[in-house]
Structure 1
Amino acid sequence: MAAKRPRFLLGCMLGLSLLMGGCGFQLRGTGVDSINLDQLHLTTTRPDSTIYRETRQNLEAEGVRLTPTAPYNLQLIDEHTDRVAVSYTGRATAAEIELRSSVTYIITDSQGRPLIGPETLRTERVYVNDRNNVIGTNEEEELLQREMQRDLTRQLLFRLSSLTESELSAREQALDRQLP
């Protein structure tokens, strides 16, 4: 009887993992498929930004060669962060704050013609503004901003994972055919 219990638990765990895998469940951070581009030129207006650094690191980790001579250029055109009060206390101070972050990107060919975009990716978070715990509130805001930057990077990588060089080449050829 004791030998059947581990087999039963093992069978339950196997069944549960198959169910979770079948419904599309994935551990956080594993949602981006591999990127099918061999090389890319990555540029930005803000080389010190976290989104740029993380995008660069992730592309290199995926085996994408980042070079200025690449046939396609991923440009991070604009990054924007906004902070808006969404509710107020009886004393007219902000009770909840909404953080909004966005990044706008475009993919161009070697001649600078847009193949994709410009597209803007967005993310939002809301937190409670606790006047009695200013340090904790500031730390929560910083944590949320870092999380939002990672989320925007993940969204961008997800978009890039759906592209292939042949698709970009086809878009480039379509632009060539439009020229008189």
Structure 2
Amino acid sequence: MIKRNLLVMGLATLLSACGFQLRGTGDVQFALKELDVSARNAYGETVKDVREVLETNGVRVYPGAPYSLVLSNEQEDRRAASFTSSARTAEYELNKTLEYEIRGSKNLLLLSDKLEAQSFYAQDGNNLIGNDQEAEQTRKEMNRELIQQLVLRLQQITPQQLDQLQQTAEAKAQAEADALEAARQQQAAQPQQSPIQLPIPAQ
């Protein structure tokens, strides 16, 4: 419980210091002014909150934007962190990860990364409802932390950087296509062996 409270206090201080507010009017500056946002879980809370943060801070979010932010994978893992004297779980550790990609023209992958958050919450054997509420509150705080991490990463990205990554990705894709075509032509140019004719035994 102490660890979780310290984490929450530290996160709150960080959010306040950088001016970020998930549902407020924090002043977060993005060099990217247009972005498509999608997720494997298209109706999840995370992708909705990310869209809201971007739009609140001046980013136009729409399908067909020059670059796409894709929340490709979101996972949660829970394990027992400590036990009571009667071998019951006293505290749980929660770990959440969020993988994301930025794709450009022709759906080419420009960059990808993985964000992580960790927290703890206490388990009270005499208060099951309270345990569920505590777990849900912890999850919300961790989602907020992951989105904060994502916002900080996106703030560091400029259109010029993505343009350069797009050129690199296109050059790589073209080189791979040329290599495949050269291999295909080489294969086609090789003489094909005729089927082996087995001798027919005399009657």
TM over 0.5: yes
- Secondary structure of the residue that 2:135 maps to in structure 1? helix
* Amino acid paired to 2:19: T
2:130 aligned partner:
136
Which ranges in structure 1 are unaligned for 5 or more consecutive residues?
A: 1-24
Q: Paired residue for 1:162? A: 156
Tell me how far 1:165 sits from its aligned partner: 0.6
* Aligned amino acid, residue 147 of structure 2: T
Match of 2:165 among 168, 171, 175: 171
Aligned residue in 2 for 1:67:
62
Equivalence for 1:30: 19
Among candidates 125, 136, 158, match of residue 119 of structure 2: 125
Contact 1:96–1:129 (8 Å) recurs in 2: yes
Counterparts in 2 of 1:29 and 1:82: CA distance versus 1, 3 Å? farther
Higher relative contact order (CA 8 A, sep 6+): 1
Q: Which residue of 1 aligns with 2:87?
A: 92
Query: Is residue 36–residue 165 contact of structure 1 (8 Å, CA) maintained in 2?
Result: yes
User: Root-mean-square deviation (CA), in Å?
Assistant: 2.0
Q: Does 1:40 align with 2:35?
A: yes
Q: TM-score, structure 2 length as denominator?
A: 0.71
Distance 2:53 2:28 in 1: 12
Greater Cα radius of gyration, structure 1 or 2: 2
Answer 1 or 2: which has greater strand percent.
1
- The Cα of 1:29 is off from its aligned counterpart by 6.1
C-alpha contact 1:33 1:158 (8 A) present in aligned 2: no
Cα distance in structure 2, aligned partners of 1:45 and 1:174:
26
Change (3 A) 1:70 1:26: closer
**For residues 165 and 171 of structure 1, what CA distance do their matches in structure 2 show?**
10
| 1:53 correspondence with 2:48 | yes
State the Cα distance separating 1:84 from its structure 2 match.
0.7
From the two aligned structures, give the one with the greater helix fraction. Answer: 2
Q: Given that residues 28 and 57 in structure 2 are in contact (C-alpha distance below 8 angstroms), is that contact kept between their aligned partners in structure 1?
A: no
